[in-house]
Structure 1
Amino acid sequence: MPKRIIYHIGDISRPGGMERIIVLKANWLAEHGYQVTMLSMSSLVESFFPLSSKVKMEALDVFQGSVYDEKRNLWGALKSVYYSIRSRIDHKRKVEKYLESHSCDYFITLVNRGFIPKLKDGSKKYFEIHFSSQAKIEFHQLNSFFYNLVYDLGMYYQERICRRYDKFIVLTEKDRLMRGNIPNMIVIPNFITIESSDSMPVAESRKVIAVGRLSIEKGFDYLFQAWAMVSSKYPDWSLEIYGYGYGREEYYNELIQKNGVEESVKICAPVKDIRNKYLDSAFYVMSSRYEGFPLTLGEAMSCGLPCVSYNCNCGPSEIIRHSEDGILVDEVGDIKGLSDAMLYLIEHPKKRVEMGEKAKENIKRFSIDHVMKKWEDILR
């Protein structure tokens, strides 16, 4: 009898990298003989990315409320706690009810809740996290004392829960080391979501591409400053950013104008087939403050693009081989370093092509079949 897997995710309708990798993982498992159900917390059952007809889609419609407050003060922190508690009560009730009539061998969750490891349905419980522990450090630098206090208490509880799962899966060796000694923790990286092909980027392209949601961790504020230096020297080059805005487009367009790069920078809506956008570009740039495992680096490399990236925690140094298939800028926030790296690729087209060819070859170690064999090892 085929192994039965329930994949539990927040909202499968979103166009993010995490959602893309989970859909492709579910598709692969379904095509390789597993019975897979995608169980979404939201009320939406339509996946942004193509989902195999062999994968069953279910929605719990868990109460969410508004857990975000722009002021992030004491009132905002208390309101966040209230909505969080109310959501967790509703969530627990609906998962328990669902499992009463839908048994499985493996319950793999991307949503960390204390009740999940305690469920008595007989399945193995795996928690798969797509965010690095670096996010905790960055959060502290951006918020008030009360918000940080609530956050720290929540994170302490979350970290204790991680130890209760049968397996706790992180994406990089660096993140595993940062989290310390957790006996049930293993590393399985993400695979590359765009397979390599014979196509190579247009050698004469004067376009640079970045992909990511418009949020503080992606560091686009750094990128706009660095791009201002690039565009002042090469005004015929352009930068295109593909990412969901979550209502922040106006703020980022203001940043673009503030840095005087409105003529050469364009923010674009997410597209389902990003491959053509990569192939129409000269190289890829990532300015993130931190990452979990940056899928977009691997996507770009599989299309033959060299990549420029801050050497942030976690992921870039485990994907890019510095000076061979891309350039790592050591210090996050080093505007001149990021600018110099982009200028180097612009001014050395032959080297750029060579690095792109190396990138396409090197990234094959993160192919879907190679990575999913590691998943099969823990599903036996």
Structure 2
Amino acid sequence: MKILFAVKALDDISGGAERVLCQVASGLAARGHDVQVLSFDAPGGEAFYPLDARVVRVCLGIGRVKERATLREILLRMKALRRFVVREKPDVVVGFMHSMFVPAAWALIGSGVPVIASEHTVPSYYQSRIFEFFLVLAGFPFYRRYVVLSDKIRQTYPKVFQEKILSLPNPVFIPEFVADPAGEGLGRKVLLSVGRLHPLKDQGVLVQAFARLAADFPDWDLKIVGEGEMRGDLEALVVQERLEDRVFLPGAIKDISAQYRAAQIFVLPSRYEGFGLATAEAMAHGLPVVGFADCPGTNELITDGVDGVLVSGEDRVSALVSVLRRLMEDTALRVSFGEKGRDSVVFYGLDSVLDRWEELIQPPPRRLSSA
């Protein structure tokens, strides 16, 4: 099949959804599909995540992709997208995230090319973005399917839309070599967190928790991998807590697998996740994982007391301190959680998820006439 993946931007963007797009597009190209990836990046750039050489990139270079688009830019993008699709005639267009699938659905009305909407967040994300959610729902008549990351998320949508909604998880890289949660013989042990530096990721809580633990665990460090708008605030907090030599913010890193393998505990303090890709990847690398019980996405991946811990409590910092202290002290528990976590994410392996993508992009069967 000829498949067009469309996303607002890929160059220098280290988000989870962008990584999934590159994995799925590359995987389908490797299976023999004709795959193109369209974005509004300027021509000549390079995607942060690798794409298979058989994937054709199309960069339309319209507008400021790292800022909120103006109405004029949106209309120009819709016009250019429609022109490209009419010329190339893909069998299906897959729009990643509402910044792309909403305008794509409206732009391609009457083109004869179906649009699949791939959503990577949860409805609660739109609580302060009511108009954006209205546009998402208004596009439902024009999506062939609307893809979310879990059945639990699907059930949070109004029932009138649920028949068109399909749950399809993100693919998770299952590595051959895994982490060493025990960390015995290592000079330093690492608490690792991976994610965009954003208020909803709540990494400040993790820094505050580590500040209370640092003196009791002098051989442990904290590493927060990712980039984003909260960098300045987090750096200031690290200085305030006098942890410059114990807390590290290396930015976005392409070889994220090496970071998982070098860690002993993974912590994601997010307030919400669409899927919790970083948590699933940490589990695949054999790491014990810690997240918050009230975080959608995270609380679907972690089985509390089996492969990790779901933190609960009104005082998020104190509750997290208690859980981390227990894991940092108990080597056997870290190893046990890591082993069981790896077993629990096999379902999300790339081949399994690609099988489901191939089912998704197939046209629906034609109904036979009753003649």
Letter of the structure 1 residue corresponding to residue 201 of structure 2: K
Contact 1:67–1:84 (Cα < 8 Å) also in 2: no
Contact 1:105–1:122 (Cα < 8 Å) also in 2: no
1:191 aligns with 2:171: yes
Provide the alpha-carbon RMSD of the alignment: 2.0
Q: Which runs of 5+ in 1 are unaligned?
A: 69-82, 141-150
Candidates 118, 124, 129, aligned match of 1:134: 124
Aligned-pair CA distance for 1:202: 5.6
1:261 aligns with 2:243: yes
Aligned-pair CA distance for 1:24: 0.7
Candidates 349, 357, 371, aligned match of 2:339: 357
Letter of the structure 1 residue corresponding to residue 356 of structure 2: K
Contact 1:227–1:261 (Cα < 8 Å) also in 2: no
Aligned-pair CA distance for 1:21: 1.0
What is residue 367 of structure 2 aligned with on the other side? none
Candidates 82, 89, 95, aligned match of 2:81: 95
Candidates 107, 113, 135, aligned match of 2:102: 113
1:9 aligns with 2:3: no
Aligned-pair CA distance for 1:25: 0.3
Taking structure 1 as reference, are residues 286 and 333 closer, same or farther at Cα in structure 2, changes over 3 Å only?
Answer: farther
Letter of the structure 1 residue corresponding to residue 102 of structure 2: R
1:376 aligns with 2:365: no
**Hey, what's the Cα distance between the residues in 2 that align with 1:5 and 1:333?**
48
1:230-284 deviation line (CA, Å, top 9, x unaligned): 21322331100110235x4322201222344333211012221111211111110
Letter of the structure 1 residue corresponding to residue 206 of structure 2: L
The alignment partner of 2:345 has SS state of helix
Q: Which runs of 5+ in 2 are unaligned?
A: 363-371
Aligned-pair CA distance for 1:65: 7.5
Residues 149-298 of structure 1: matches in 2 within 5 Å? 151-181=129-159, 182=161, 183-192=163-172, 194-201=173-180, 203-204=182-183, 206-246=189-229, 248-298=230-280
1:89-137 deviation line (CA, Å, top 9, x unaligned): 1111111221232110010001132452543332221000111122223
Aligned-pair CA distance for 1:351: 1.1
1:306-363 deviation line (CA, Å, top 9, x unaligned): 1001124421122111111111113586211111111111111011111111111111
What is residue 57 of structure 2 aligned with on the other side? 57
**Hey, what's the Cα distance between the residues in 1 that align with 2:155 and 2:60?**
35
Candidates 69, 75, 84, aligned match of 2:70: 84
**Hey, what's the Cα distance between the residues in 1 that align with 2:177 and 2:218?**
31
Contact 1:290–1:313 (Cα < 8 Å) also in 2: yes
**Hey, what's the Cα distance between the residues in 1 that align with 2:221 and 2:205?**
16
**Hey, what's the Cα distance between the residues in 1 that align with 2:233 and 2:138?**
37
Taking structure 1 as reference, are residues 174 and 262 closer, same or farther at Cα in structure 2, changes over 3 Å only?
Answer: farther
What is residue 144 of structure 1 aligned with on the other side? none
The alignment partner of 2:132 has SS state of helix
Range moving further from structure 2, 210-219 or 253-262: 253-262
Letter of the structure 2 residue corresponding to residue 59 of structure 1: C
Contact 2:190–2:222 (Cα < 8 Å) also in 1: yes
Contact 1:106–1:126 (Cα < 8 Å) also in 2: yes
Taking structure 1 as reference, are residues 65 and 298 closer, same or farther at Cα in structure 2, changes over 3 Å only?
Answer: closer
Q: How high is the TM-score relative to the length of structure 1? A: 0.86
What is residue 104 of structure 1 aligned with on the other side? 90
**Hey, what's the Cα distance between the residues in 1 that align with 2:295 and 2:158?**
15
Contact 1:207–1:282 (Cα < 8 Å) also in 2: yes
Aligned-pair CA distance for 1:64: 3.0
The alignment partner of 1:203 has SS state of coil
Range moving further from structure 2, 301-310 or 205-214: 205-214
The total of aligned residue pairs comes to 350
Letter of the structure 2 residue corresponding to residue 21 of structure 1: V
Letter of the structure 2 residue corresponding to residue 63 of structure 1: G
Taking structure 1 as reference, are residues 282 and 96 closer, same or farther at Cα in structure 2, changes over 3 Å only?
Answer: same
What is residue 79 of structure 1 aligned with on the other side? none
Identity %: 25
